[in-house]
Chain A
Amino acid sequence: MTGTALEVRGLTKRYGKLLAVSDLNLEVRHGEVFGFVGSNGAGKTTTMRVALGVLTPDRGEVLWNGAPITFEIRKRIGYMPEERGLYPKMRIGEQLLYLAQLHGADHASASAAVANWLRRFGLSDRTGDEVQKLSHGNQQRVQLAAALVFDPVMLVLDEPFAGLDPEAVDAMSAVLHEQATAGVPVIFSSHQLDLVERLCDRVGIIQRGRLVASGTIDELRGRGPAQFWVDAPNAAATWTAPLRGTQIVRTDGTRYLVQLDGGADDQAVLQAALATGPVHEFRRHVPSLLDIFREAMTEEAVATPA
């Protein structure tokens, strides 16, 4: 299935004087992994809580398949809050079964799903143990299982990778990818941009309660001005000066990162470089998500002077 699954429209939420989220629009499509990126306090958690119905927004609405989301749909969204939480003294199997039933699963399918996920996470022999007796990593696995055991229609995960060891990160990534492939849309927030870049079909960058950029990684790369790496050993530092609409944004030995504004011609840059002597490298710079993120932050800071 393609098309929009979850849509947040015109979301605004204040905490007293603090404007946490301001007129935010967001959409997550069926079968995609959507990464939610932003600084601490940018409004990611608030947006997720509103989507789940845990928080009531001041303005805006949440849609599911184009219609206002219902309590029944929300019940079937798997949620992993930033602040992890389980009953520490309740047995793992019982707890997962209880949570699955609360999410609307019947006893039989819930039991099967609990056994299934515990096996998958290598915790079958711990079914009867209290949660507090598990290691931190295993508690995280149980927490993820809690979001999966009722066959969710969507996954909303707030910082699912925080505090995981590399092995657990791989396991988590595999589960998210698998769920999305099965058609379950996944939205997660993270500060690990390399992970987001690798895992996500689309990314949203949020800054001070506003979505400043969203799209596929490629789309986001295409947003900024074109940049080229030019390795011209004989060139003077000012070799781009005659060219209109270009500037050197970084110098690395004999390598220059040249940025071209809107109408500037990349072939003119190459000719100017060749005019100085040999050119060892001429290639388009592919910014990482970190670069895009920094860029977006800077743009935002310029657009809204403090």
Chain B
Amino acid sequence: MPRLPETLNTFYLIARREFLTRVRSRFFVIGTLVLMVLLAGYIVLQTQVINRTVPTSKLAFVGDAQVLAQPLQAAANAEGIKLQIRSVPDLATGEAQVRSGALDALISGDATSPQVDVKEDLSSTIAAPLNQIVKAVALNRALAASGSDPSVVEGKVAGAGINVRSLDPNATVRTQREVVGIFTAALLYVALLLYGQLVAMGVIEEKANRIIEILLSTVRPRQLLFGKVAGIGLMGCLQLALLGVVGLVATSRTHAIIVPNVGIVAVAGGLVWFVLGFVLFALIYAAGGSLVSRQEDAGAVIAPITMLIVGTYLAYFFVAANPDNPIGVAMSIVPPFSPILMPGRIATGDATAWQIALSVVLAIAAILGMNALAARIYTNSVLRIGARVGFVEAWRGVA
């Protein structure tokens, strides 16, 4: 009988059961929907609040002042100010509209000293460009009156201007990247914690309801262990990918993130590191779970692993605040800290190529090492029902 297909088939059956059981569960369906709605709602709400601070100004021009309309519209477009120019039949109608709020300002009279009627106050975003245009019109008219050619003077004026030298050109980008970095690290922290504990509880469940003995009479412990890790990991990937798509769509639709590719890089890096981190921690959680036989005893073995993950997440804030600190850099490269710290540093753009490459290689090496360790502990303890199995016993395999 060919060995490989049989082994693969068993692995597939186990992983599929784990995946389907969990994807069909209320925890997954409702949890994912709620998270997707919350995430999209948060992003949309945030941008809505920002948009409401720059409402469209509605203006109308009457008489000589109408020559100001075109230049103001052009200036507004260049500055990104939202402006709508309306026409009114006469001054009285315009004034009435300003009083009613249908118009924000009515500009009338001489173009060089126009009268601006407003209900209460003129917004500075309109006042500043309007003033400049009025001054330019006045200048042009004065130049024409003095016999000079306004177009020559205009050309010279256009050439004049300030030279801006930016000392910290990426400040905004930097801030956005930091936010995305914290978001990525937080998401990985929650995902590793949540899905890792699901693996531990799944292992304990099989021991607690004793089906483990039937399973082990027909499959090898490693097939069961890896099938479980793969099935739950796939469920985690699916949930994260759904959330990632919602996040990307919502941010691109609302322009919440202006830095190009930051979102995509963060999501891609986050998913790769989720796979690496999840496999590593799932093996640790599975080995821990195999030591106990009852859900009540789960805390004792899960708590130390949970503390490690929480501690790593807290360390991220230090790492993010001190991007060049050698200890922080080293921690972000070495497992078991790298699965949370490195994707955060990738999102902020602090990680260099060699650091990323080294951390991935080390993470894979750690997974291979943990695989041997976890499989051994799991095999030695998974059939022992009753009191918690000591770590040393589990390693040696003696009862």
Interface segment out of the listed A50-58, A239-247, A262-270, A293-301: A50-58
Size class of B's contact patch?
A: 20 to 34
Question: When the two chains form their complex, are residues A79 and B214 in contact, meaning their CB atoms are under 8 A apart?
Answer: yes
From B25, which residue of chain A is reached at the shortest CB distance?
A: A89
Pair A54/B217 contact, Cβ less than 8 Å: yes
Complex contact B210–A98 (CB within 8 A) = no
**Does residue B92 face the partner (Cβ distance < 8 Å to A)?**
no
Nearest chain A CB to B356's CB is how many angstroms away? 40
The residue in A55, A79, A146 that gathers the most chain B C-beta atoms within 10 A of its C-beta is A79
Assess the B1–A72 pair: CB atoms within 8 A. Answer: yes
A99 within 8 A of B: yes
Rounded to whole angstroms, the CA-CA distance of A53 and B13 in the bound complex is: 21
Q: Are B218 and A15 in contact (CB under 8 A)?
A: no
| Residues B214 and A99 in contact, CB atoms below 8 Å apart | yes
- Pick the interface stretch among A80-88, A274-282, A284-292: A80-88
A85: contacting residue among B14, B21, B212, B398, CB under 8 A: B212
**Closest CB in chain B relative to A67 CB, distance in Å:** 14
- Taking a contact as CB atoms under 8 Å apart, the answer to whether B398 and A77 are in contact is no
Q: Is B213 an interface residue (CB 8 A)?
A: yes
On chain B, the residues within 8 Å of A103 by CB distance are 218
Q: How long is the Cα–Cα vector from A74 to B10 in the complex, in angstroms?
A: 14
The reply to whether the CB of A173 lies closer than 8 angstroms to some CB of chain B is no
Q: Which A21-59 residues have C-beta < 8 A from chain B?
A: 49, 52-55
Taken residue by residue from 98 to 118, chain A's Cβ proximity to chain B (1 for < 8 Å, 0 otherwise) reads as 110111100000000000000
A87–B220 Cα gap in the complex (Å)? 18
Contact of A74 among B6, B218, B383 (CB under 8 A): B218
Given A53-B217, A79-B217, is A101 in contact with B13 using a C-beta cutoff of 8 Å? yes
- Determine whether A225 belongs to the interface, using a CB cutoff of 8 Å to chain B: no
Contact of B214 among A72, A104, A146 (CB under 8 A): A146
Is B210's CB under 8 angstroms from A81's CB?
yes
For A72, give its contact among B6, B213, B385 (CB under 8 Å): B6
User: Which residues does chain B contribute within 8 Å of A49, judged by CB atoms?
Assistant: 213
Structural contact, B213 and A54, CB atoms closer than 8 A = yes
With a CB–CB cut-off of 8 A, which chain B residues contact A99?
Answer: 214, 218
Verify if A253 is at the interface (C-beta below 8 Å from B). Answer: no
Please indicate which of the listed interface residues A55, A83, A102 has the most CB atoms of chain B within 10 Å of its own CB: A102
Q: Does B242 contact A (CB under 8 A)?
A: no
**A191 contacts B by Cβ under 8 Å:** no
Nearest Cβ on chain B to A49's Cβ, whole angstroms: 8
Residue of B nearest to A14 (CB): B399
A90 interfacial contact with B, CB 8 Å? yes
Is A305 in contact with chain B by the CB < 8 A criterion? no
* Set B14, B218, B385, B399: member contacting A83, Cβ < 8 A: B385
Q: Do A83 and B210 touch (CB < 8 A)?
A: yes
Chain A interface residue bracket vs B:
20 to 34
* B10: A residues at CB distance < 8 A: 102
- Assess the A75–B214 pair: CB atoms within 8 A: no
For A83, the chain B residues whose CB sits under 8 A away are 210, 213, 385
User: What A residues does B210 contact at CB under 8 A?
Assistant: 81, 83-85
Is the pair A85, B217 in contact by a Cβ cutoff of 8 Å? no
A166 at the B interface (CB under 8 A): no
A74 engages B217 (CB within 8 Å): yes
| A-chain residues with CB within 8 Å of residue B14 when the two chains form the complex | 102
Contact partner of B218 among A55, A75, A84, A87, CB < 8 A?
Answer: A75
Q: Contact check, B218 vs A85: say whether CB atoms are below 8 A apart.
A: no
Give every chain B residue within 8 A of A55 (Cβ-Cβ).
383
Determine the chain A residues whose CB is within 8 A of the CB of B219 once the complex forms: 102
Interface residues in B159-218 (C-beta closer than 8 Å to A): 209-218
Contact B217 A86 (CB under 8 A): no
- Shortest B209–chain A CB gap in Å is 5
Contact of A54 with B385 at beta-carbon distance under 8 Å, contacts A16-B398, A84-B210, A85-B210 already known: no
A15 x B399 contact (CB < 8 A): yes
Which residues of chain A have C-beta atoms less than 8 A from B82's C-beta? Answer: none
Residues in A with CB closer than 8 Å to B215 are 102
CA distance A114 to B217 in the complex (A): 19
A129 to B112, CA, bound (A): 86
Interface pair A88/B399, CB less than 8 Å apart: no
A99 to B216, CA, bound (A): 11
Query: CB-defined interface of B282-308 with A at 8 Å, one 1/0 digit per residue?
Result: 000000000000000000000000000
A54-B383, A83-B213, A146-B214 given. 5 additional CB < 8 A pairs? A85-B209, A85-B212, A99-B214, A101-B13, A102-B218
Chain B residues engaging chain A, CB cutoff 8 angstroms: 1, 6, 10, 13-14, 17, 21, 209-220, 383, 385, 398-399
> Which 10 A-B residue pairs are closest in the complex by CB-CB distance?
A85-B210, A85-B211, A15-B399, A81-B213, A83-B210, A79-B217, A52-B217, A75-B218, A103-B218, A54-B216
Q: Which residues of A contact B (CB under 8 A)?
A: 15-16, 49, 52-55, 71-72, 74-75, 77, 79, 81, 83-88, 90, 98-99, 101-104, 146
In the assembled complex, 19 residue pairs joining A and B whose CB atoms fall closer than 8 Å, in A order, are: A16-B399, A52-B217, A54-B217, A72-B1, A79-B213, A79-B217, A79-B218, A83-B210, A83-B213, A85-B212, A85-B213, A86-B214, A88-B209, A99-B218, A102-B14, A102-B215, A102-B219, A103-B218, A104-B6
